[in-house]
Structure 1
Amino acid sequence: MMKKFLLPFFLLGCLNARAEYLFNDSHFHLTNYIQEGTPIQKYVEIMGDTVGRSTLFGIPLQQQWSHRISGEHAPKYYLDTDARLYYYSFTDAFIAMAYRSLPKESQARLDPMITGFNPTDMYAADHIKRVLQTFPGVFSGIGEFTVHKEFVSSKVAGDVASLTDPALDKILDFAGEVGLVVLLHSDFNTPFPKEGAEPTFFKQMKALLERHPKTKIIWAHVGLGRIIAPVENQMAGVKRIIEDKKLSHVYFDISWEEVAKYLVQTPQTTKKVADFINKHPDRFLLGTDEVAPADKASHEKVYWQYGPLWNLLSKDASEKVRKLNYERLFDEARKKVRAWEKKQGFVDTTSRLPASKK
């Protein structure tokens, strides 16, 4: 089965459309909140014949280990301590070097993303450009990065990110210019909202999306979270975005086990979600949102969690959500970003030999 990935790069998209693998992963973290993770060679082995292609990024936030707060207990996750999170820019170099350590046939299966920037910083777009200049031929997008996230936003040191921040507009303008896919996490609401109230962040998010019609944006987790649960007005908001012709550049991923628990909570819920996706199959992507998985079962668990949903989707919708939407978006991004890099004179000078022969 692995031989199918040894064909020339330009044939990869056509091949993937016919492959027997189960899904492409639009949302995958190689490393965790303390910048540790799965060795990249092992991750390719974990993908095996199950996952055709995958995004590849770390986590832009580092969890501080404050001895004053947790003593000898070393936190490994943001819920393990009250200590601050801070932006960790080295993640981009780490991801790029890990990617470059692979042979070309393995690289062709991965789409690295730039995440190590502060979305409140007007210099953030310059960081993204600098990463592209330093590692040409590597990155296809930016993200996952966070604006509003339950339990996380309030822990980040420095300014609070906002959907109305000019720094964020500058980032999305630059992504659109280059052709980078954007994977953005922003909750559509605050925890424990007043019943019947309009979602806190929806208007701001919609306005942001409207300001950047030339940028391909994936709204991570459909705006849901651990306790940011779906309600009627949230589903109505997604519908408003999808049915707005001015927002055809906006997509949604259904990644994360915390999201799956809502979308397949009951047979009635699953049918409602399936009916909606069947009407708009071009706008959704599957992602796992797994963080540094140790094995194949860990990486695939979200896919199997969505089993009831796959059973209710049409064949066409299922193929698009699991595979084809990913390939369409990221094939286009690869082409545009490489062309932009070439125009800027950013040249990949690394050896073309497989890592084992360097």
Structure 2
Amino acid sequence: MQRIGRRLAVAAAALTAVAVIASPAGAGAGAPAECFDRATEPYTSQVDSHLHFRPFGGQAIPFDELNGYLRKSGVRHASMYGIGQTLPVDSTCTYYLDCPGTPVAPSMRNDFVNAANYAAAKPEDPELAVSMTFLDLNHPETIPPGISLYDKEFPGVFRWAGEVNLVKQALFANEHTPATIENIRNWAPFMKVLRERGIPITIHSDLGNDEEQTKYLPLMEETLRQYPDNKIVWAHMGLSKELATMDPDRHIAIMTRLLDQYPDLTLDLSWRVLEDNYFGKPGVRSKYAAFLDRYPTRAIPGTDFVASRAKDYAVYEEELEVTSRINRALGDRAFRNIALGENYYRLLGLREHAPRVCRTR
């Protein structure tokens, strides 16, 4: 009887193994993921942590169509931003830079559309983290009631906050003004909510401009000093079109100092401005790659694509490729954490893990 029992156990184990191999779901759940071969697989990022599903004005790319862009390009996770700072509903503009003098103000409009689309579709591929982008950092007293409204209308849907503007020089012609030190100190109530829920917040805060390169750095330093335990993501590493000529060594030194001082700070590598004005210049890519290799757990990728109906898949594909070029220069650990999404999963508290990178022979 013992011999028969052993034979049955062996047969059952064999059948189980066959089932796991034959079933994609079983393979994903019961077997370790295959390694990622950098020699044959794309270098483009598999997560897009900075993707605006809604435009500043005008028509948006339909929700299902944009999700199709992600699947087609190999992006399986994305943060679902709206645009918190919207053009007036009666404006004919689709982009704020085309309409100087037209006010651009924080609004809940895009967040509600995003949340409704998400709740109706409940997509699993791509897996989306819906973000609250209405936060008006100049009027922080309005934020806790807004979060309560979101909780009531869409319980459990919002898992990210931002992109929100601390200071964005590109919007100065549209009546945007930087938040003040006093404003920042009054963020405490809503930052407490985000901290308790483990919600990351992506903050756009320009370092400065070509004339005064660190003019606005004190604003982000005050934010980090006041809220060191919040998951703060610094959009575009503080760079912008207004700051195109900063010495990379100086920029890296600032980032290094702040990463060392504030363990919960994460750098956002989105927007092609980083590649066009910095990473792509002769001798500069290797400096940033070495920096990211020293801090492989402290950055996340993104496109900063804005889903205006005037764009199509070709535009998204290009933005993804351009913002992913830095990935090719990264060491294996940083590549796995950044391009393959491990840092993003950890930031969101997901149980998912990125595949390991295959060892080169």
Q: Which moved more, 1:118-127 or 1:176-185?
A: 118-127
Residues 274-297 of structure 1, C-alpha deviations (whole Å, 9 max, x = no match): 111111111111100000064333
Q: How far apart in 2 are the matches of 1:241 and 1:300?
A: 32
Q: How far apart in 1 are the matches of 2:322 and 2:229?
A: 34
Whether the 8 Å CA contact 2:270–2:323 is kept in 1: the answer is no
Residues 1:193 and 2:211 are matched in the alignment = yes
Q: How far apart in 1 are the matches of 2:65 and 2:331?
A: 34
| Residue matched to 2:316 | 299
Whether the 8 Å CA contact 2:272–2:323 is kept in 1: the answer is no
| Residue matched to 2:136 | 118
| Residue matched to 2:344 | 326
Whether the 8 Å CA contact 2:269–2:323 is kept in 1: the answer is no
Whether the 8 Å CA contact 1:147–1:161 is kept in 2: the answer is yes
Whether the 8 Å CA contact 2:270–2:302 is kept in 1: the answer is yes
Residues 1:239 and 2:263 are matched in the alignment = no
Q: How far apart in 2 are the matches of 1:325 and 1:16?
A: 19
The correspondence for 2:71, drawn from 48, 51, 56, is: 48
Residues 233-260 of structure 1, C-alpha deviations (whole Å, 9 max, x = no match): 332210101122xx11000111011222
SS in structure 1 opposite 2:228?
coil
Q: 1:83 to 1:145 in 2, by over 3 A?
A: same
The correspondence for 1:59, drawn from 80, 83, 87, is: 83
Whether the 8 Å CA contact 1:226–1:259 is kept in 2: the answer is no
Whether the 8 Å CA contact 1:54–1:110 is kept in 2: the answer is yes
Q: How far apart in 1 are the matches of 2:25 and 2:85?
A: 37
For the pair shown, the structure with the greater C-alpha radius of gyration is 2
Residues 1:148 and 2:163 are matched in the alignment = no
Q: How far apart in 2 are the matches of 1:326 and 1:39?
A: 25
Whether the 8 Å CA contact 1:17–1:324 is kept in 2: the answer is no
Q: 1:303 to 1:90 in 2, by over 3 A?
A: closer
Q: How far apart in 2 are the matches of 1:17 and 1:126?
A: 46
Please, what is the CA RMSD of the aligned residues? 2.9
The correspondence for 1:310, drawn from 305, 323, 327, is: 327
Q: 1:276 to 1:45 in 2, by over 3 A?
A: same
| Residue matched to 1:78 | 96
TM-score of the aligned structures, taking structure 1 as reference length: 0.78
| Residue matched to 1:214 | 229
1:171 positional shift = 2.8
Q: How far apart in 1 are the matches of 2:34 and 2:217?
A: 35
1:317 positional shift = 0.8
Residues 1:95 and 2:114 are matched in the alignment = yes
Q: How far apart in 2 are the matches of 1:331 and 1:18?
A: 22
TM-score of the aligned structures, taking structure 2 as reference length: 0.78
SS in structure 2 opposite 1:117?
coil
1:152 positional shift = 0.6
| Residue matched to 2:283 | 268
Residues 1:25 and 2:48 are matched in the alignment = yes
Residues 1:182 and 2:201 are matched in the alignment = yes
Q: How far apart in 1 are the matches of 2:178 and 2:167?
A: 9
Q: 1:62 to 1:17 in 2, by over 3 A?
A: farther
Q: How far apart in 2 are the matches of 1:16 and 1:204?
A: 44
Q: Which moved more, 1:206-215 or 1:49-58?
A: 206-215
Q: Which ranges of structure 2 fall in alignment gaps of 5 or more residues?
A: 1-23, 353-361
1:118 positional shift = 1.6
1:310 positional shift = 2.3
SS in structure 2 opposite 1:140?
strand
Counterpart amino acid of residue 137 in structure 1: G
1:16 positional shift = 11
Q: How far apart in 2 are the matches of 1:173 and 1:238?
A: 25
SS in structure 1 opposite 2:59?
coil
Number of aligned residues: 312
Residues 1:127 and 2:146 are matched in the alignment = yes
| Residue matched to 1:71 | none
Q: 1:66 to 1:53 in 2, by over 3 A?
A: closer
SS in structure 2 opposite 1:51?
coil
Q: How far apart in 2 are the matches of 1:207 and 1:272?
A: 27
Whether the 8 Å CA contact 2:202–2:234 is kept in 1: the answer is yes
1:183 positional shift = 0.7
| Residue matched to 2:238 | 223
Q: How far apart in 1 are the matches of 2:81 and 2:219?
A: 26
Counterpart amino acid of residue 243 in structure 1: D
Q: 1:26 to 1:163 in 2, by over 3 A?
A: farther
1:307 positional shift = 5.5
Whether the 8 Å CA contact 1:284–1:321 is kept in 2: the answer is yes
Q: 1:130 to 1:35 in 2, by over 3 A?
A: farther
1:115 positional shift = 0.7
SS in structure 1 opposite 2:167?
coil
Q: 1:116 to 1:36 in 2, by over 3 A?
A: farther
